[in-house]
Amino acid sequence: MNTLAGFEEIEDKIITLRGQKVLLDRDVAVLYGVETKRINEALRNNLDKFPKDYCFSLQVSEKQQLVETFDRFSVLKHSTVEPKAFTEKGLYMLATILRSPRATNATFTIIETFAKLRELSRAIGSLPDASEEEQKSLLQKSGDMFADLLDNNLQATDSETTIELNLALLKVKHTVKRKAGEE
């Protein structure tokens, strides 16, 4: 059985375009273990299943901005084809079309990643309006979500444990120091 892609692998590929978090067709193809043309072929053969809030073609200016902002998109610089961007809903729909075991596993991880990011965003967004006690609870819950998202990236020594998460404009670092004599 194929293993699931990790949170970081997917989180690093999620970008924001037109106010929505999306994955480009080329990144979906990598996660699903197929060629990009297979993703776009599935899209072309099922256009009725992909309204504009599920998938859209990038405009030339959007593609240019990606190439300038992210090194990994430099291969798009001279491409005559405009990449497709799949929203979360579009990825769910794509999962109904691509049915390989790897595509299914990647879809599970993509769904979990989007859900965890949404939950974390809600928790952080509600902090300013919460009472001091509620803030403590939300911070604990956020810390638990961070630990869940980072499971393999948890760094621990005998004296402290550090969790660090970078989410585009937000960087959160949480360190728990043990007192002398604690185990």
Residues 6 or more apart from 53 whose CB is under 8 A from it? 20, 87, 89
Please report the pLDDT score of residue 84 as a whole number.
Answer: 95
Give the pairing of strands 15-17 and 20-24. Answer: antiparallel
What is the number of other CB atoms lying within 10 angstroms of the CB of residue 42?
21
30, pLDDT greater than 70: yes
pTM summary value: 0.60
User: So what's the pLDDT on residue 169?
Assistant: 42
User: Which is nearest to 173 in space by CA: 159, 157, 160?
Assistant: 160
Would the pLDDT of 136 be above 70? yes
Instruction: Please name the residue that has the structure tokens 């299943």.
Output: 49
Q: What is the pLDDT of residue 152?
A: 44
User: Does 178 or 100 have the greater pLDDT score?
Assistant: 100
Q: Which residue has the tokens 């879809």?
A: 107
- Which tens digits make up the pLDDT trace of 43-98? 999 999 999 999 999 999 999 999 998 888 888 888 888 999 999 889 888 888 88
Q: Helices 36-44 and 25-32: crossing angle, nearest 10°?
A: 110
CB 97 within 8 A of CB 107: no
Region of 33 (left: φ > 0; alpha: ψ -120 to 50; beta: rest) is: left
